[in-house]
Amino acid sequence: MKTARKCPKITVAAAALVPLSLTACGGSASSGTGSLTVQDYYQPSHDAIYKACAKSVGVEVKINHLPGAGLISKVLQQSSSRTLPDVLMLDNPDVQQIAASGALSPLTDYGLNGEGMVPAVVKAGTYEGKLYGLAPAVNTISVFYNQDMFEAAGISAPPKTWDELRAAAKKLTQGDRYGFAMSNINTYEGSWQFLPFMWSNGGTEENLATPETAQALQFLVDLQNDGSISKSSVNWGQGDVVNQFVAGKAAMAVNGPWVIPQLEKEKSLKWAAFTIPTRLASQTTVAPLGGELYTVPRTGDKTRMGKAGQFVKCLTSPEKQLESAKIEQTIPSTLTVAAEFGKSNEVIAPFVTAVKTARSRTAILGPDWPKAATKIYTAVQAALTGKAAPAEALQQAQNQQ
């Protein structure tokens, strides 16, 4: 009989500095193979899916819902105390960071390869050529618009280019109503909303100080100078933006499909959505990929890890993708399933289109993405508050260490 290798005790603070491969060598908190522990930051709305997959795998499931804000520090703590869950859900930009630490096992060990899925999903879950996470459903951002306001302004169709968007926003700006609203707050949320304008125009986080990114930032400055975007956008989160839209204070609003349930409650509000316009009609919208990926941590128990792999395989099956998408108002990760879902749901269709060409935030810089995100929102804030011209703001941000 082989004896288990002992792990050294490491404090949470120290764990943040030590590769998780050194600490993720113990077993999961629960013993035996009769049950699996799933950890996420969802509401209990997904519990029925978890229980169905557990039944198909032949185990019971213990579900642990945690606040998303403290998830990474919790994972570090669990790793040092050898209490990692059997199935761990992570926000997609965090997967590469945790995979790099050695805490996750490759999903290919369990017969998963992401075939047929949105390319950005596979990219987000891949680190150094190995697949560590997959998502049942994903999201991105598009533009919601008030159809009554469009009709009153004589705008017959949603804009497809920046020039058309700027012209429409000017027409729609009246009194205390802004033609266009988006979050430009100094957090990752602000960076997330700027990405479609930067990426679609050929800009990249590898070097922010390029003419392409400067054009994107200048476009937002121009909208603000026109009076079409509120100067308060530098303080607005995405929740504030949708509230402005619902209140009739914004005719167009950049947001994600997760706000659809809120909009559907407003029976007097006639709305629809369209894909974020590009500078040129010949360009393709490249929006950021949102959503959570499921992973199988290295708990040290191969039998349990095998069951966990089967569980993730069930979660990412076409049937469960559709169930998850309907619960969260998101997009199935498999392209064919997403296409069918879009055909049956006009509201979701623009998001399905955007997801096809979406990009994961870690696609270029991998685990270093957070540094770039900070630089992006810093530059956006500097330009919109008049502290620096777009090109200068981007150069200053790029020079940040």
Bridge partners of 207, per DSSP, are 204
4 is a domain residue: no
Q: Are residues 102 and 118 in the same domain?
A: yes
Answer whether 197's CB lies under 8 Å from 253's CB.
Answer: no
Q: Are residues 380 and 276 in the same domain?
A: yes
Q: Are residues 117 and 212 in the same domain?
A: no
Contacts of 119 (CB under 8 A, 6+ apart): none
The predicted model gives 15-29 an average pLDDT of 38
189 is a domain residue: yes
Position 32 scores a pLDDT of: 53
- Residue for token digits 């303080």? 235
Q: Which domain holds residue 280?
A: 142-287+365-398
Name the residue with higher pLDDT: 271 or 73: 271
5 is a domain residue: no
pLDDT tier, 63 (very low <50, low <70, confident <90, very high otherwise) = very high
CATH number at residue 65: 3.40.190.10
Q: Are residues 53 and 198 in the same domain?
A: no
Write the Ramachandran bin of 251: left for phi over 0, alpha for psi from -120 to 50, otherwise beta: alpha
What burial letters (b/e) apply to 275-314, b meaning 16+ CB within 10 Å?
bbbbbeeebebbbbbbbbbbbbbbbbbeebbbbbbbbbbb
pLDDT of 306-346, one tens digit each? 999 999 999 999 999 999 999 988 999 999 999 999 998 88
Q: Are residues 201 and 299 in the same domain?
A: no
Name the nearest CA neighbour of 250 among 33, 342, 263, 64. Answer: 263
Q: Are residues 302 and 281 in the same domain?
A: no
Lowest mean pLDDT among 135-149, 267-281, 339-353: 339-353
pTM score, two decimals? 0.88
The whole-chain average pLDDT of the chain stands at: 91
pLDDT tier, 71 (very low <50, low <70, confident <90, very high otherwise) = confident
Q: Are residues 394 and 251 in the same domain?
A: yes
What burial letters (b/e) apply to 374-399, b meaning 16+ CB within 10 Å?
bbbbbbbbbbbeeebebbebbbbbbe
Q: Are residues 67 and 199 in the same domain?
A: no
Position 260 scores a pLDDT of: 95
Residue 105 has pLDDT above 50, yes or no: yes
| Structural domains in the chain (count) | 2
pLDDT tier, 76 (very low <50, low <70, confident <90, very high otherwise) = confident
